[in-house]
Amino acid sequence: EAEEAGADGILAVTPYYNKCTQGGLVRYYSEIAECTKLPIIMYNVPGRTGCNILPETAAKIFQEVENVVAIKEATGSVAQASQLMYLTDGRIDLYSGEDGIVVPLMSIGAIGVISVWSNVAPKDVHDMCMAFFDGDTKKAMEIQLKAQPLIEALFSEVNPIPVKKALNLMGMEAGPLRSPLTEMTDANAAKLAEAMKNYGIKLA
Express each pLDDT in 53-98 by its tens digit: 999 999 999 999 999 999 999 999 999 999 999 999 999 999 999 9
Active-site position among 28, 60, 72, 164: 72
Runs of H (alpha helix) within the chain: 22-34, 46-49, 55-64, 78-87, 102-106, 122-133, 137-146, 148-154, 161-169, 186-199
Question: E strand or H helix at 42, and its extent?
Answer: strand 40-44
123 is catalytic: no
43 is catalytic: yes
Active-site position among 43, 164, 165, 199: 43
pTM above threshold 0.75: yes
- Residue 110 has a pLDDT of 98
